[in-house]
A and B are shown apart, each in its own frame.
Chain A
Amino acid sequence: MPGFTALTSSSPDSLVDLATLQLDDARALLEHDAQNGDREAGESATQYLQRVINGLCDLSLKDPLTGLGNRRHFHGALSRAIETVARSGDSVLLLLLDIDHFKSINDTHGHLAGDQVLRALSACLARCVRPVDTVARYGGEEFAVILPHCRPAFGRTVAERIRASVAALAIDIAPLQSISATLSIGGAYAPEWVRSTPELWIERADQQLYRAKTEGRNRVCIEQPRELAVSAEEKGLLFSQLELDELALPDMAPARVNT
């Protein structure tokens, strides 16, 4: 706080008089988030204001407890993913993750322990994904992960890795006391080349999350990709024994079976 008033009026690059602005709250918020809220040496008033605004924007997208993106951040990322998918046909997977029996963790060990579980799981989620992925705290004990460029064959692997990593975690909640927690994970791919809506996409992932819960928790359910997956091996066996005249197409040579 001290120091900038002297610079303000002499700063030629700005019509803004910082001294007249009520920046105390903004500065306090930034300091609380371990960002420098003071004007730095050599920083023009405009540059400083821009940095404050950027810092506040960052804060508005962050979940204070876990440091992950918050729901607002998630919705922004999801909308961008929908635009990308609509134009590129990229394969994007949305995962919704919910801590199993979180209420009983809170009830048994107290809310501070619950917060510790949320923080530990968040750090674990962030470690499990790529920098290009988005991890956000969606609600109380619910998280969301957006995985762009994620082919259907890999989606389950990633989700399983997250599930197993979290289940293996020993979370310290007090000296010499650690507990474990599990996640149920539901996932759905954005329909390729189609502009979905956040609501529809979330709802589909949520249905899978619900399935994961009803099927016993600590598991991954991903919506069946819409293409009907039949391997070349299956097709081979499907048609190998059938005599060609069983089939209506008389010219069905074996070479065409695997197309």
Chain B
Amino acid sequence: MDLDDTPDQAAFRAQVRSWLDEHASEAPVLSGPDALQDEDAIIAARRAWQGKLAEGGLAGLTWPKEYGGQGLGPIEQVIANQEISRAKVPGILDAIGVGMLGPTIIAHGSDEQKARYLAPLLHGDEVWCQMFSEPAAGSDLAAVQTRARQQEDGTWRLSGQKVWTTNAQFASYGLLLARTDADVPKHKGLTMFIVPMDAEGVTVRGLRQISGEAEFNEVFFDDVQLEEGAVVGGVGNGWGTGLTTLMFERVTIGLGSEGMGYNSTRFASALARDEHVRRDHEVRHRLGEIAAELIAIRFTGYRTLTALQKGQVPGPEAGLAKVTLVNGAIKAGDLIADVFGPDALDDDSEWAYMISFLPGLKSAGGTEEILRNTIGERVLGLPPEPRLDKGIPFSELRSKEGAAA
């Protein structure tokens, strides 16, 4: 039992570190007095930096070499992430594209799609966004209503709305799940498309959250025309294609949660500054309970890495760490606000943003309730709840829902 690198991993770490030592000065500055301020300038600088990371072999490490990747494993990806964080430089801008959408195209895309899209995606020349969720299709993702209809000439017409779309405001392309057949049961009538974000009829609108900032977008499609070759993975196979994306999402979240800054050391440091606070029984008890769980998921991460190293794919139980992380951070924010009072909620406090951000994070990447359902069924083997939508054509389901409401 050890937490050490193998000789190969140590060699790889040294190689990454030396590249970063050499190039760190070229990275965009995002905090401190010299930080870039203008939103467009930040995005441009981060895209250029992603290109440099890709050239240095530090983006898309797990991609096959023929698509510009390094053909390495998730452990090397984690090592690269650790070194990037140690060098205090930003990582890649398009983590969703490189981590989830590119791999989906590699798995299901046509040769033409791979040749056209993968290299610009990896280098940050074209940023991608994921357009799966809708206002009425989140936990029940297969209920998407955005409709694509094929024309006689083979092209498609797309209408509908997506939501929670990170990076849509500057993305070049999006991977979109649409309904192409409403007369079959809902999982069967779906198709995955590549959508150019500058196409006529695409409207992106920022969605402000509790913090006041707009990190997500709503995207509207008004009779948008798509080429025949925009289909990924075949017409009617959208659900299977989407599951591939979600599997890569689990891996991405599983490997990246430590980077969110919700760790026990940070919370303890804030509370330790006041001598009365650090001796207070209630503060200590609350901090101890929160910290013990946050420390636990750090080692859950190491257990996941051990499994990955042996070639195993993380299962749905990885979702439990997310539940622990989000709820632990929520309790920590609550404790800190109890101790520091309204000051903790000021705009310039490091805690206000965290406190505002977390309620939404509870639902991101699968609500806590859906995660617990999935884990209860797939890990503990408990029976699913009876479903009222099995085997029923989507169009009939919609009219049934209408009648019930």
* Binding between chains A and B: no
